[in-house]
Structure 1
Amino acid sequence: MRDSVFNCCFNPPHPPGAVEETHWHSNRAQALPQNDRRFLIFFDFDETLVDECSDDAMVTVAPGGSLPSWLKDTYRPGRYNEYMQRVLAYLAEQGVTPSNVRNTIERLPPCPGIPALLRFLMSCPPQDFEVICVSDANTVFIETWLQSLGFRSLFMRIFTNPAHFDENGQLQLRPFHSHNCLRCPVNMCKAEIVRRYTAQRVHEREGRRYQRVLYVGDGANDFCPSLTLAPDDVAFPRRDFPMHRLIQEMHEAKPGEFKANVVPWSNGEDIINKLRKVIEERA
């Protein structure tokens, strides 16, 4: 189905307890959060930090560089996480090792200008940005890639599907959580993650809100959390990707409904330029 404002992830607030706690506090950086951070910025991973889909990259290590038809035919809409579990099991059966997996992920190219953007964030005063990753990839892929480029310490939290290599060398993948959003994949609603994490941090900050919340993404599942942003916040959709098209469609279909400022990006430098202005405006 074509991406559309009306079939994406816009949903009413969830009742209490809609998100399971299982993986909520996992994947923390070494340092505890600093409660004086001025801005909260979320990043997607696939096609936002890396310039392709990390799951698709795994196909390149399959025999012949492709998956058998019987396996591809098991995919069901909204259940990609379950499909990827079967793909990873197949790859392990075909002799793909943890080293093969890590080497493939380490070779993923960053999106244009993203290394410069992450270096910019690392160079900012510590009270400026609290940096979070929220992705439908998995812990092994994201941790491996960030560590290989030296950016892991920048991210205070990584919210993604938990994964680990078992004793047989197979990458075991599990869903991040369950939720009540009927239009999101069953394993992850990013809007729920953004809402809940932001509320949790404001509570930890004794009610003090961030000056701005910012969200950088590309896909249809990044449109969903961008709807949670307030008028002073900033959505950074990758130009001409689904998130950008869905925002444009909402502007046309429901003027005024999308609240956040919108800054499309093609290069990380576009984001840096806006962040410099945000810092100066709120100094």
Structure 2
Amino acid sequence: MASMKLGTHLNADVLVLFAFNHTLVDVDSNVHIARALDADLANTTWSKNAADKKIDRAKTMDEFFVELAKHHPEVTHEDIRNAAQRLPFNQSILDAVRLVVDDFGATCKIVSDSTVFGVRSFLEHHGLADQVSEVVANSTHFEDGGKVLRVRPYHGNHLAPHGCRNCPNNLCKGVVLERILQQHRYAKVLYVGGGIEDFCPSTKLPNDITVIARNEVLSLPNTFPDTVQVQQWKAGDDVLSLLRNFFHQYPSKQVAQASVKTFSPISQVFSGSGQVLVVFDFDESLVNKDSDRFAFQCFHPELIKTLEERHALNPVWPSVFDELHQILANEKPELTPELICARVAQIPIQNRMVDAVRMAVEQFGAEVKIISDGNSLFIEKALKFHGLVPYINEVLTNQADLETMDNGRTRIRLRPHHDQPMNCSWCPSNLCKGSILDSIRNKKQYSHVLYVGDGIGDFCPASRLTKNDVVFARADEVDGRSYGLQKRIDSNPTLIKASVVPWNTGDDIYRHFAQVLHAQT
């Protein structure tokens, strides 16, 4: 975290969890955002479910946004973002978030039955995105070229029901917090809540937790467990004061000593077992660019048009890129393979994507492999640069080597992955990801496969997964850009047995991994 100086804070193992509705903001953010966009439609949508005490807010908001797009196609993602940014709040609550993170080095997370898009829009607008390490809420993505905001339940259909009788089907905060605390042992946990839905977490947390609850929560007929210390608040100033007093009084030595302890159950359950297989596509999935194109965009962008023209005649990427590397070597002899690889190694990667890979391996013992229509040289350099080499079990891709030319200089050579052309109706002849995935599973049995992809080349392996597996398909961007995997799934739904979960960011993958892998333990 940018504002934290390593070694100056001894409270880094204190976790402060904030609810969002009626806590970080003064209202129910779902209802408030909906009414700001179309009050009549919001009232109609919410009134249909008003009698349900455990209303599925993800389903309700998804229905609202679908209808909103039909009735008001002029409403853009920026209009929705602006509505979230204008949510009413108490400045002292926001100051409390900055206090616990910037001044005392605690970890801050948000757990909410709101939407990820709404919460993150609010945080970014108020300069709190860096202070909040994780937002756990109902996931969101855009469809129809960025015109429709879709909301999916945090506990989606790809997960077993959470089984909590007190919480709505789409989100149990107690289950979420159990997952968070199994990933890391915190010396102290503080939970700041404002509604009846914040009662459940207090019943499932370990000893030595402090709940800072709004007065309405304290009036519940249930009672908090004896192990829970309860403080009450009415206004934002109360929260700020309670947190300031806690951190001034809490013994830093106790935190420092406790921080060396770690939870072991999850890491031991999967240690060395390889029960879960995580497969990443590389280009525009694990990294946020096409690595082969990236090289030419950096050093010879004029060749991009040539690339497209040649690919139209020969739809085998390694052959096309091999030809272009010959042109690059001839036209720009000063560009050595070392210079090219050094630049491609720094290819952009989305925030938290690296964390997602590390978490899958370190905390859940998963095997992580890459299946890519890129090339081995660029992938190897990028993995090394981003510190991922120890976490990747295997890379299956087109082979790349260095070749000495007649003039004594070296150039990059690319060869197809398969020695013999593949005859797959979904894949190019040089690389069939589906057959590669089948080969992996034939060598070793896995209980579950998580596949992260974006393009049409990822459909073939997705179609070979089972009902026990999950496909993470990159969703449309707000600027209208769409990706081939989701489109092909939509066109061929009967061929997909696995659960399909949309994603846009590395944070999405991190949250989904944490959720799915925890549910499978």
Instruction: Say if 2:279 is the partner of 1:66.
Output: no
Give the direction of change, closer, same or farther, for the CA distance of 1:262–1:71 in structure 2 (3 Å limit).
closer
Partner of 1:262: 500
Which of 94, 116, 120 is 2:355 aligned to? 116
State how far apart, in whole Å, the 2-side matches of 1:130 and 1:115 are.
15
SS of the equivalent of 2:370 reads strand
User: Is 1:170 aligned with 2:411?
Assistant: yes
Cα displacement (A) at 1:71: 6.6
In the TM superposition, 1:95-114 aligns within 5 A as 95=333, 96-114=335-353
Distance 2:305 2:348 in 1: 28
Q: Per the alignment, do residues 69 and 131 of structure 1 end up closer, same or farther by CA in structure 2, a change over 3 Å counting?
A: closer
**What is the one-letter code of the residue matched to 1:273?**
R
Residue pair 1:112, 1:266 contacting (<8 A) in 2 also: no
The change in CA–CA distance for 1:198 and 1:68 in structure 2 (over 3 A counts) is closer
1:277 aligns with 2:520: no
Matched to 2:357, the amino acid is L
AA aligned to 1:179 is M
Letter in 1 for 2:435: E
* 1:193 counterpart residue number: 436
Residue 245 of structure 1, aligned match among 451, 476, 487: 487
For residues 81-134 of structure 1, give each alpha carbon's deviation from its aligned partner in whole angstroms, at most 9, with x where no partner exists.
Answer: 211110011111221211221122122100343122123224314xx2010000
- Residue 416 of structure 2 aligns with an amino acid whose one-letter code is P
User: 2:296–2:304: 8 Å Cα contact kept in structure 1?
Assistant: no
Aligned residues of 2:361 and 2:367 also touching (Cα < 8 A): no
Name structure 2 gaps, 5 residues minimum.
1-270, 477-482
SS at the partner of 2:464?
A: coil
Supply the distance in 2 between the matched residues of 1:250 and 1:68 (Cα, whole angstroms). 31
Aligned to 2:328: 91
Alpha-carbon distance in structure 2 between the residues aligned to 1:72 and 1:236? 28
Q: Distance in 2 between matches of 1:174 and 1:83?
A: 10
Q: Is the 8 A contact 2:371 2:397 kept in 1?
A: yes
- The one-letter code sitting in structure 1 at the alignment partner of 2:510 is I
Does 2:457 align with 1:221? yes
The match for 2:374 is: 137
1:62, distance to aligned residue in structure 2 (A): 4.1
Q: Secondary structure at the match of 2:394?
A: strand
RMSD: 2.0
Task: Give 1 or 2 for the bigger CA radius of gyration.
Answer: 2
8 Å Cα contact 2:293-2:304 kept in structure 1:
no
User: Given the superposition, is the C-alpha separation of residues 278 and 73 from structure 1 closer, same or farther in structure 2, using an over 3 Å criterion?
Assistant: closer
Measure how far apart 1:214 and its partner are.
1.2
Q: Tell me how far apart the structure 2 counterparts of residues 140 and 245 of structure 1 sit (CA, whole Å).
A: 30
Does the C-alpha gap of structure 1 residues 92 and 272 become closer, same or farther in structure 2, counting only changes over 3 Å? same
Q: Which residue identity is paired with 1:57?
A: F
CA separation in 2, counterparts of 1:170 and 1:200? 36
Is the Cα–Cα contact under 8 Å of residues 356 and 513 in structure 2 kept in the other structure?
A: no
Q: Distance in 1 between matches of 2:401 and 2:462?
A: 30
Gapped runs of 5+ residues in structure 1? 1-33, 202-208
Give the strand-richer structure, 1 or 2: 2
- Structure 1 match to 2:163: none
Q: Is the 8 A contact 1:61 1:100 kept in 2?
A: no
Cα distance, 1:71–1:136 mapped onto 2, change above 3 Å: closer
**Contact 1:44–1:134 (Cα < 8 Å) also in 2:** yes
- Listed one character per residue, the Cα deviations across residues 32-78 of structure 1 (whole Å, up to 9, x for unaligned) are xx862120110000000111111111223445x31286675433242
TM-score (norm 1): 0.77
Q: Distance in 1 between matches of 2:519 and 2:340?
A: 44
1:152 equivalent in structure 2: 389
Structure number with higher helix proportion: 2
Counterparts of 1:282 and 1:183 in 2: how far apart (Å)?
Answer: 31
Q: 1:245 aligns to what SS in structure 2?
A: helix
CA distance in 1, matches of 2:413, 2:385: 21
TM-score by length of 2: 0.43
Distance 1:162 1:66 in 2: 25
Q: Please tell me the residue identity of whatever aligns with 1:98.
A: P
Counterpart among 36, 40, 56 of residue 293 in structure 2? 56
Q: Is the 8 A contact 2:353 2:506 kept in 1?
A: yes
